[in-house]
């Protein structure tokens, strides 16, 4: 039987005669905090010797500046090797959905927090082979070289080249990842966004080596951060107020002589002004500074005087809250389904907090998880991480009194709503491998959207499924088939009953689509089709029947192309807007995971010839009869700054010409 507060094994708690310590776990004692329970200490906490605070649930320590959080040895000195206060990962085998122990500290000064917490860590890998795992390090004064033993690999200070295994930290102002030249230095930025090198899979964040089931990361937790974090001047030089110059096509170099286009991406502005305007500007990358969840679901607006979390980032464009999910195919190859992206409605009418990957519970950021924020302009904003802390893995109800145990998000009612159709691509075993979104609202724009002040669109980049910009009467807008969209918007009034084109670039992998329908970010009931407007979404494969898109329904994928509708189309609309584009859907896309450009072929192509010329007219790449079932990597010399013309010709004579800047 589960105990309501906490379970105790070999428990010995005494209360110190010193005012600074309220809860003391002595040598040979074991205090066990059960999953789903909360233990509250109204003062300091301490373990001694091998005393163990075994946390499967939640610990809340609220005290004053004179209280302490300590782990001491038998002689009373600081014990720094960990293993005394352990935040457990309760089901490591299913780490993505597992519950975990959390620690909340409030009121204590950082100088009085000397105790070492052991955080059990296991998470999805952010790549395969050679890549950087993106993490938060919620430990104050932790030496970077201590990560080598904890993760089972040796980090070094070499930034590039064979044998490089650096630890990087994102610099928001200069839009660059700085590396540590002295690994004996220690963490000092609670909200820092860190990147840990993986070389030839020498450590696997999702599978510790040997008999270990988890990684044990040790360090002193952070006290509440002093003040708020100011969001301003991201992508500005530290030498003055001017913008960092990314160069045409991102070909300018940073202080490490690295081209910006080899590591910086901005999915929010890709469709409007890639590497121009505010592309890469107003772009902030952070890590969760605490060993407690952070709830980002309500940060874009003022909820109420009494129930606000103190954050109202009015010019927020969107959030990327997961670098991507790595999927392994039956043949053993892996790829990422892409970052999870939320974009915020900018009308100011409160219709919904966001669109896209708006599973609000996923906007609760776990300990050691990183995230990114994009603002629409450089107007100064503030973010108070302290007030976002939350034990629950569900988002807080907007407007309710803020706190670490505030009630769950229950949605927002309004007359003017945002309606969203999510199309989830499933493989033959029913596993998700890609997704895309089509959203409508009275305030949204039909057709090519150029306003950075209002758009909610986001690029599909190298994803497997996505949609294309719609012509005003439906179907492809042939002026904009050079990119495609992860989140696509249209006005629900003037585009009702007209079609958006959905394209599947991997028909051999995506075998079915599942529908996920939301209104104002909330899921509608299972099996439901109709929204509050009395209208719903529809789906029609090429040469297929029109079907109502219902919550949770799954349909077989039989064609590369399909049509999405908000509102039932008329027979006339169906007849006139199912035509193929007058130009090819073959794309040349930059893939940051390999720091190079790729050709993603129109699904209808079978073979292609590819020629690449530099600006002097010299032919630098020539490939005949290239298989179009997989992406083609345009292997250019990264050390040479140049512009190139890419000519791609299908076996049926269709030609695509495009320019890339390297």
Computed from CA positions of residues 619, 621, 626, 631, in that sequence, does the dihedral angle turn out positive or negative?
A: negative
pLDDT value for 661: 67
The per-residue pLDDT of the chain, averaged, comes to 85
In the predicted model, is pLDDT for residue 573 greater than 80? no
Among the listed residues 126, 575, 637, 79, the one whose alpha carbon sits nearest the alpha carbon of residue 338: 126
Alpha-carbon torsion angle 512, 517, 523, 528, nearest 10: -90
Please tell me the least confidently modeled range out of 100-114, 335-349, 440-454: 335-349
Assess whether pLDDT exceeds 60 at residue 88.
yes
Surface-to-core class of residue 471, CB atoms within 10 Å of its CB (0-12 exposed, 13-18 middle, 19+ buried): buried
Q: Give the separation between CA 286 and CA 281, rounded to whole angstroms.
A: 15
How many residues can be counted in the chain? 662
CA distances from 290 to 146, 220, 252 (A): 19, 11, 36
pLDDT recorded at residue 68:
95
pTM (two decimals): 0.80
Query: For residue 150, what is the enclosing H or E element?
Result: helix 146-151
pLDDT at 321 over 60: yes
Does 496 have pLDDT greater than 50?
yes
The pLDDT > 70 percentage for the chain reads 85
For residue 353, what pLDDT is reported? Answer: 60
User: Which residues, in sequence order, are CB contacts of 332 under 8 Å at separation 6+?
Assistant: none
| Lowest-confidence region among 69-78, 315-324, 581-590, 623-632 | 581-590
> Residue 239: its pLDDT value, please?
52
**pLDDT at res. 361:** 65
More confident residue, 227 or 89: 89
Averaging pLDDT over each range in 12-21, 347-356, 357-366, which range is the top one? Answer: 357-366
Q: What is the mean pLDDT of residues 405-433?
A: 75
Q: Residue 46's CB: how many other CB atoms inside 10 A?
A: 25
46 and 72 in contact (C-beta within 8 Å)?
Answer: yes
**H-state helical runs in 217-350:** 270-273
Which pLDDT band, with edges at 50, 70 and 90, does 12 fall under? very low
- The DSSP element (H or E) to which 167 belongs, if any, is strand 167-171
Buried b / exposed e over 212-224, threshold 16 CB at 10 Å, is eeebbbbbbbbbb
pLDDT of the residue at 589: 82
pLDDT tens digits for 188-234?
Answer: 999 999 999 999 989 999 999 888 899 999 999 999 998 899 999 99
CA angle 340, 344, 345 (to 5 degrees): 145
Contact 267, 413 (CB under 8 A): no
Q: Residue 506 has what pLDDT?
A: 87
pLDDT tens digit sequence for 579-590: 556 667 888 887
């Amino acid at each position: 039987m589960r105990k309501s507060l906490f379970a105790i094994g070999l428990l010995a708690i005494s209360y110190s005669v010193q005012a600074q310590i309220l809860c003391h776990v002595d040598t040979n004692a074991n205090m066990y905090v059960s999953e789903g329970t909360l233990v509250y200490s109204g003062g300091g906490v301490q373990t001694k010797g091998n005393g163990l605070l075994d946390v499967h649930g939640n610990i809340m320590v609220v005290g004053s500046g004179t209280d302490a959080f300590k782990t001491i040895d038998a002689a009373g000195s600081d014990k720094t090797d960990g293993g005394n206060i352990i935040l457990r990962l309760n089901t490591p085998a299913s780490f993505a959905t597992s519950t975990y122990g959390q620690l909340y500290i409030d009121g204590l000064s950082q100088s009085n927090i000397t105790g070492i917490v052991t955080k059990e860590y296991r998470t999805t890998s952010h790549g395969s082979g050679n890549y950087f795992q993106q993490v938060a390090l919620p430990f104050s004064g932790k030496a970077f070289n201590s990560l080598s033993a904890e993760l089972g690999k040796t980090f070094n200070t070499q930034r590039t080249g064979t044998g490089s295994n650096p630890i990087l930290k994102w610099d928001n102002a200069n839009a660059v990842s700085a590396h540590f030249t002295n690994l004996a230095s220690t963490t000092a930025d609670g909200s820092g966004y860190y990147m840990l090198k993986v070389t030839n899979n020498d450590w696997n964040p999702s599978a510790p080596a040997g008999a270990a089931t988890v990684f044990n990361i040790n360090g002193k937790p952070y006290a509440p951060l002093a003040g708020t974090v100011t969001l301003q001047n991201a992508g500005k030089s530290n030498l003055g107020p001017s913008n960092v110059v990314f160069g045409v096509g991102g070909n300018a170099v940073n202080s490490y002589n690295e081209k910006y286009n080899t590591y910086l991406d901005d999915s929010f502005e890709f469709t409007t002004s890639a590497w121009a305007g505010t592309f890469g500007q107003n772009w902030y990358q952070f890590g969760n500074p605490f060993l407690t969840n952070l709830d980002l679901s309500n940060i874009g607006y003022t909820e109420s005087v009494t129930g606000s979390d103190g954050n109202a980032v009015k010019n927020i464009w969107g959030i990327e809250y997961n670098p991507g999910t790595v999927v392994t195919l039956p043949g053993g190859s892996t790829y990422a389904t892409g970052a999870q992206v939320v974009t915020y409605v900018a009308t100011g009418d409160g219709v919904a907090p966001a669109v896209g990957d708006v599973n609000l519970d996923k906007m609760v950021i776990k300990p050691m998880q990183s995230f990114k924020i994009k603002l629409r302009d450089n107007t100064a904003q503030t973010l108070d991480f302290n007030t976002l802390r939350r034990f629950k893995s569900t988002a807080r109800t907007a407007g309710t009194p803020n706190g670490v145990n505030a009630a769950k998000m229950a949605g927002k009612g309004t007359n003017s709503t945002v309606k969203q159709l999510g199309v989830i691509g499933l493989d033959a075993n029913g596993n998700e491998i890609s997704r895309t979104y089509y959203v409508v609202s009275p305030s949204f724009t039909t057709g090519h959207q150029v306003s950075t002040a209002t758009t909610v669109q986001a690029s599909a980049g190298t994803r497997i499924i996505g949609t294309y910009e719609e012509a005003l009467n439906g179907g492809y807008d042939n002026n904009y088939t050079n990119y495609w969209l992860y989140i696509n918007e249209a006005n629900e009034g003037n585009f009702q009953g007209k079609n958006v084109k959905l394209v599947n670039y991997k028909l051999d992998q995506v075998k079915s689509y599942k529908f996920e329908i939301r209104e104002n970010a909330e899921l509608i009931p299972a099996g439901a089709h109709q929204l509050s407007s009395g209208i719903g979404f529809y789906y029609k494969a090429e040469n297929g029947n029109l079907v109502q898109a219902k919550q949770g329904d799954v349909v077989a994928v039989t064609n590369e192309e399909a049509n999405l509708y908000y509102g039932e189309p008329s027979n006339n609309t169906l007849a006139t807007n199912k035509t193929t584009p007058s130009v090819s859907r073959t794309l040349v896309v930059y893939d940051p995971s390999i720091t190079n450009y790729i050709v993603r072929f129109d699904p209808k192509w079978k073979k292609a010839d590819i020629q690449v010329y530099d600006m002097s007219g010299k032919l630098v790449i020539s490939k005949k009869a290239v298989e179009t079932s997989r992406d083609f990597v345009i292997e250019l010399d990264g050390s040479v700054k140049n512009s190139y013309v890419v000519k791609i010709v299908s076996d049926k004579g269709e030609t695509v010409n495009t320019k890339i800047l390297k």
